[in-house]
């Protein structure tokens, strides 16, 4: 059993303790017994932390919360899924809810994607509800009037994507001159999307005297240059710098022909019917193709990609989050905005073209203190991309060997009536074209 045997291999090792990186030993010695109840948070915030089920801080939370509470600038590098959002949300809510009451927008959080904006705002809502700290998010792809109405009512924290934020600033609906803290979340992804000019433009609109928090999953020369142009004598925090993949994730790769990947995805899903499976593909069209292929074998899935309007994207996230649909097929634009608990498996159906995206994709599982499994399907043409990923993370990815008998068995056992993958692609492209024509009308 190809998939069964390989996943059994992963399960066998799933709960073994993972040795700490040497640079993390000191922090773990001191915070093994540390609990959130040990902090002197504002009482209402402490209540919300307990209700959220937070007991012990993660590495990044343990290191970042004290300096942020003191008002220091922070430059933090930590992998996806390590609890970065709570690492800045908790101390910010504490600061905003203590001292003399103030009105107006005091904290701006910049994020690269709509999904991430909603996710970060949700964390502020959850942790700030008892302390009456108000948060809202603004992003493109939806009508701006409800967002303008929210701004006019007033908010303490604004989570924004660059495009919509500058639109509302230019129209006079958003003032940034009273901002006390600027938070750049997923800064490396913002640079990938070409937002560096927007970030520099943003700085001109903010008070010179402010706290700046810079969070990124990766660091390179360009990111470092930008970071140090924004922060003043920052506290630098770097978690597991030599291993960008969270220690909570068992990740591996299997060599599979491009045309056969759907059979292996089908088998993985059937052998784990109760598991949440997040599947990443390279393009919008391929997301629809894979969804159609699963539908043909009786497996329900939902898609999330850039061609979908925000309402449909929210609906896909909603049914996947609730477990009403167990399979979500997404493109890389969604990799950083998907914060869904209990994602059991991440499948890289396509190897990502940018090595950094591998880290962000598989970071959707194994979040916080939970364990997770990620499996990549690599075709012969994608081997150079896999080599780049191995170079980025500093070691080869564990290989799942599939013998010919098991491989052929997986293909032959598929429930697909028509195994002609190229015919399926052609049919699906016709469906996509018809949908686009109908949409234009």
Q: What are the residue boundaries of the structural domains of the chain, listed by start?
A: 22-238, 249-440
Q: What's the whole-number average pLDDT of the chain?
A: 83
Give the residue, 163 or 157, on which the prediction is more confident.
157
Q: Which CATH number fits domain 249-440: 3.40.50.300, 3.40.50.970, 3.90.1300.10, 3.40.50.2300?
A: 3.40.50.300
Q: How far apart are CA 86 and CA 68, in angstroms?
A: 12
Least confident of 98-107, 266-275, 323-332, 334-343: 334-343
Q: Inform me whether the pLDDT recorded for 149 exceeds 60.
A: yes
Backbone Cα Rg of the chain: 23
Q: Inform me whether the pLDDT recorded for 106 exceeds 90.
A: yes
pLDDT digit string, tens, across residues 310-321: 788 888 888 998
Q: How far apart are CA 191 and CA 324, in angstroms?
A: 35
pLDDT digit string, tens, across residues 215-231: 987 777 888 888 888 88
Q: Is 372 exposed, middle or buried (0-12, 13-18, 19+ CB in 10 A)?
A: buried
**330 three-state secondary structure:** strand
pLDDT at res. 7:
47
Average pLDDT over residues 43-63: 92
Alpha-carbon dihedral sign for residues 223, 228, 230, 231: positive
| Tokens linked to 7 | 């996943």
**178 three-state secondary structure:** coil
Q: Residue with structure tokens 């504002």? A: 42
Q: What is the CATH number of domain 22-238?
A: 3.40.50.300
Q: Inform me whether the pLDDT recorded for 427 exceeds 80.
A: no
**256 three-state secondary structure:** coil
Counting residues of the chain whose pLDDT is more than 70, the rounded percentage is: 83
Asked, colleague to colleague, whether 22-238 and 249-440 share their fold, the answer is: yes
């Amino acid at each position: 059993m190809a998939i069964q045997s390989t996943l059994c291999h992963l399960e066998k090792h799933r709960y073994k303790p993972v040795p700490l990186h040497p640079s993390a030993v000191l922090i773990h010695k001191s915070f093994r017994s540390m609990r959130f109840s040990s902090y002197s948070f504002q009482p209402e915030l402490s209540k919300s932390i307990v209700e959220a089920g937070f007991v012990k801080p993660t590495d990044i939370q343990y290191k970042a919360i004290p300096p942020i509470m003191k008002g220091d600038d922070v430059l933090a590098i930590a992998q996806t899924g390590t609890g970065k959002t709570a690492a800045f949300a908790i101390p910010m809510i504490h600061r905003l809810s203590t001292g003399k009451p103030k009105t107006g927008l005091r904290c701006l959080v910049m994020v690269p994607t709509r999904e991430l904006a909603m996710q970060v705002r949700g964390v502020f809502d959850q942790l700030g509800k008892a302390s009456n700290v108000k948060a809202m998010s603004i992003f493109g792809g939806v009508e701006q009037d409800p967002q303008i109405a929210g701004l006019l009512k007033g908010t303490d924290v604004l989570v924004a994507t660059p495009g919509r934020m500058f639109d509302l600033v230019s129209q006079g609906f958003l003032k940034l001159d009273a901002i006390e803290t600027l938070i750049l979340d997923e800064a490396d992804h913002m640079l990938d999307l070409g937002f560096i000019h927007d970030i520099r433009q943003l700085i001109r609109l903010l008070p010179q005297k402010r706290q700046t928090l810079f969070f990124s999953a990766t660091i390179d020369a360009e990111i470092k240059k930008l970071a140090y142009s924004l922060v003043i004598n920052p506290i630098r925090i770097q978690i597991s710098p030599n291993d960008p993949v969270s220690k909570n994730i068992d990740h591996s790769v299997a060599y599979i022909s491009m045309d056969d990947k759907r059979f292996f995805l089908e088998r993985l899903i059937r052998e784990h019917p109760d598991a949440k499976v997040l599947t990443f593909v390279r393009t919008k069209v391929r997301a629809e193709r894979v969804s159609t292929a699963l539908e043909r074998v009786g497996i329900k899935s939902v898609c999330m990609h850039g061609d979908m309007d925000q309402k449909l994207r929210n609906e896909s996230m909603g049914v996947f989050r609730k477990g009403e649909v167990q399979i979500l097929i997404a493109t890389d634009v969604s990799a950083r905005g998907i914060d869904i608990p209990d994602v059991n498996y991440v499948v890289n159906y396509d190897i990502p073209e940018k090595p950094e995206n591998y880290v962000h994709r598989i970071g959707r599982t194994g979040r916080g203190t939970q364990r997770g499994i990620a499996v990549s399907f690599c075709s012969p043409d994608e081997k150079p991309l896999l080599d780049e990923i191995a170079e980025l993370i500093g070691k080869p990815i564990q290989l799942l060997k599939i013998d010919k008998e098991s491989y052929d068995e997986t293909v032959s056992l598929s429930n697909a009536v028509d195994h002609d993958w190229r015919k399926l692609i052609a049919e699906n492209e016709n469906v996509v074209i018809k949908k686009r024509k109908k949409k234009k009308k």
